[in-house]
C-alpha cells in the first residue's frame, strides 16, 4: 500500500467561530483507494502559505510511502533540512498527515485506531468544555461577567460535565509575560467564586491562561485563586522557558497544566524533568501526531503525570485525541467543543453524552467527514488561527479576553 495523493481543505467555522478562525484538513488517498483524514493545528503562518508547507512535506516524505511506516515518516520529517528538533510549522504539517495515515491503516485493517495503539484502555472518556455564552447572553459582556460564567457552568453541569474551563485573566500579548493587573486578579477571583458557588463540588474548575504572565505574576494570581481549589492552572507563563514553570509549580498548591504550544516528546520531556507540570495538554495536530504522543504518555507515566489532550480546532483533531485517549492509562480528560458545525463536519459520528465520550468502534478515526460542508465554508480572511495582541496589558481599565477568537458577524 502506498500514498498517492493529497488534498487540503481550509474551512472557516461560522460565527461565533469557536475553535479558531480556520481549520486545515488534509485528505490522503492510497493506491488501494482508501482515504484518510487529518488536521494540522494552529499554524504559525497563514493557511495559504501553510498549504505549500504541507505539500512539500507530503511530496518529500509521504508520496509513494507505505502509510504503515509511521516511525520512518516521523524521523524523516523531524530531521528535515538538518533539523532534528521541534519545528512548529513542519511538525504541524506532519501531525495532520500522520493522523491521516492512521485513519488509512485503521480502515485497511477494519479496526479503530485505538486498537492499533495498544488496545482499549478507557471505555469512556471524561470530557470538559470551555465556558461559552448561552443563547440569551450578551456575547461581548460575557467575558467579564462572573454571573454569566456561572450560568454557563451550571448549564454544562446539568448536561453531565464534571469539569469546566474559563479564562478571565486578561490578554496574551506579543510582549511576553507581564504582571497581571489588580483588576484582572480581582476578576479572576470573582469568576472562581461565582462558578464554585454555582456548581459546588459537582465539577472541577479548570483555570485557563495563555502564557501571559511573568513567573512572579503567575504566582501572585495563583495565590489569589488557590482557595477555590482549581484542578489546574493552565500555561501560566510563556512556553519559551520551560524551567520557569517549575518555579510556579513549586510555589502553588494548584497542579500546573500546559502543552498546547509544545511539539514532540523532546519539549514535553524537558518540562517533565524540570517538575514544571503534572498535566500535559498536547495538541495532536501540532505535537507530532498520535504515535509521538503515545510515546509521550509512556514518558509521562514515569513522572506520574497525566494527559489531557487539548482542542481549540476542528473535529478531526478531536477524533484523533479520542483515539489516543482511549489507549492510554494516564488519561485525565479530553477537551471538547460542541457546536453544530463541529458535529456536522463528522456527521455526528462522535458525541458527548452526559459529560463523557465513548470511543468509536468503527474503522480508522471513526468519523465520516462531510467534505462538501467543509468546502462550502472556505476561509477568506487574512488573520492567523489565533493571534497575539500587540497592545500591552491595561492597568487603568478592564482587560478583555474574548474566548480565543473575536466573534464574527
What is the distance between the alpha carbons of residues 334 and 162, in angstroms, rounded to a whole number?
12
Tell which residue, 374, 363, 371, 313, has the closest CA to residue 102.
Answer: 363
With a cut of 70, which residues of the chain have pLDDT below it? 403-409
To which CATH superfamily is domain 116-365 assigned? Enolase-like C-terminal domain (3.20.20.120)
Which pLDDT belongs to residue 402? 75
For residues 311 and 324, the answer to whether their CB atoms sit within 8 Å is no
Which pLDDT belongs to residue 153? 98
Which pLDDT belongs to residue 407? 53
Which pLDDT belongs to residue 401? 78
What is the distance between the alpha carbons of residues 3 and 7, in angstroms, rounded to a whole number?
12
Is pTM beyond 0.85? Reply is: yes
Report the relative pairing of strands 163-166 and 3-11 from DSSP bridges: unpaired
Which pLDDT belongs to residue 404? 61
Tell which residue, 184, 190, 215, 186, has the closest CA to residue 205.
Answer: 190
Q: Where are the domains of the chain?
A: 116-365
State the CB neighbour count (10 A cutoff) for residue 209. Answer: 24
Amino acid at each position: 500500500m502506498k500514498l498517492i495523493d493529497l488534498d487540503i481543505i481550509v474551512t472557516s467555522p461560522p460565527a461565533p467561530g469557536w475553535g479558531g478562525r480556520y481549520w486545515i484538513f488534509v485528505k490522503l488517498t492510497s493506491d488501494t483507494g482508501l482515504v484518510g483524514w487529518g488536521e494540522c493545528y494552529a499554524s504559525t503562518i497563514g493557511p495559504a502559505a501553510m498549504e505549500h508547507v504541507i505539500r512539500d512535506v507530503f511530496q518529500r516524505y509521504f508520496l509513494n510511502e507505505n502509510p504503515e511506516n509511521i516511525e520512518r515518516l516521523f524521523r524523516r520529517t523531524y530531521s528535515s533540512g538538518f533539523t532534528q528538533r521541534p519545528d512548529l510549522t513542519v511538525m504541524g504539517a506532519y501531525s495532520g498527515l500522520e493522523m491521516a495515515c492512521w485513519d488509512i491503516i485503521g480502515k485497511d485493517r477494519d479496526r479503530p485506531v485505538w486498537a492499533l495503539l495498544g488496545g482499549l484502555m478507557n471505555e469512556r472518556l471524561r470530557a470538559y468544555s470551555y465556558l461559552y455564552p448561552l443563547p440569551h447572553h450578551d456575547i461581548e459582556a460575557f467575558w467579564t461577567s462572573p454571573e454569566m460564567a456561572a450560568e454557563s457552568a451550571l448549564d454544562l453541569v446539568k448536561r453531565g460535565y464534571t469539569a469546566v474551563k474559563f479564562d478571565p485573566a486578561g490578554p496574551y500579548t506579543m510582549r511576553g509575560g507581564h504582571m497581571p493587573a489588580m483588576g484582572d486578579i480581582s476578576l479572576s477571583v470573582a469568576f472562581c467564586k461565582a462558578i464554585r458557588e454555582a456548581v459546588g463540588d459537582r465539577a472541577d474548575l479548570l483555570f485557563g491562561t495563555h502564557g501571559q504572565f511573568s513567573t512572579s505574576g503567575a504566582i501572585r494570581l495563583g495565590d489569589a485563586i488557590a482557595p477555590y481549589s482549581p484542578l489546574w492552572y493552565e500555561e501560566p507563563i510563556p512556553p519559551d522557558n520551560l524551567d520557569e514553570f517549575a518555579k510556579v509549580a513549586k510555589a502553588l498548591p494548584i497542579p500546573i497544566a500546559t502543552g498546547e504550544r509544545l511539539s514532540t516528546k523532546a519539549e514535553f520531556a524537558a518540562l517533565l524533568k524540570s517538575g514544571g507540570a503534572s498535566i500535559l495538554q498536547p495538541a495532536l495536530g501540532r505535537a507530532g501526531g498520535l504515535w509521538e504522543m503515545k510515546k509521550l504518555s509512556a514518558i509521562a507515566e514515569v513522572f506520574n503525570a497525566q494527559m489531557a489532550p487539548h482542542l481549540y480546532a476542528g473535529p478531526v483533531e478531536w477524533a484523533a485525541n479520542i483515539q489516543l485517549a482511549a489507549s492510554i492509562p494516564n488519561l485525565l480528560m479530553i477537551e471538547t467543543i460542541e457546536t453544530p458545525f463541529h458535529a456536522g463536519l463528522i456527521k455526528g459520528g462522535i458525541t458527548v453524552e452526559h459529560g463523557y465520550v465513548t470511543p468509536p468502534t468503527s474503522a480508522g478515526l471513526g468519523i465520516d467527514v462531510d467534505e462538501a460542508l467543509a468546502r462550502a465554508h472556505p476561509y477568506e480572511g487574512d488573520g492567523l488561527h489565533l493571534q497575539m495582541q500587540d497592545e500591552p496589558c491595561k492597568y487603568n481599565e478592564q482587560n478583555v479576553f474574548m474566548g480565543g477568537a473575536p466573534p464574527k458577524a
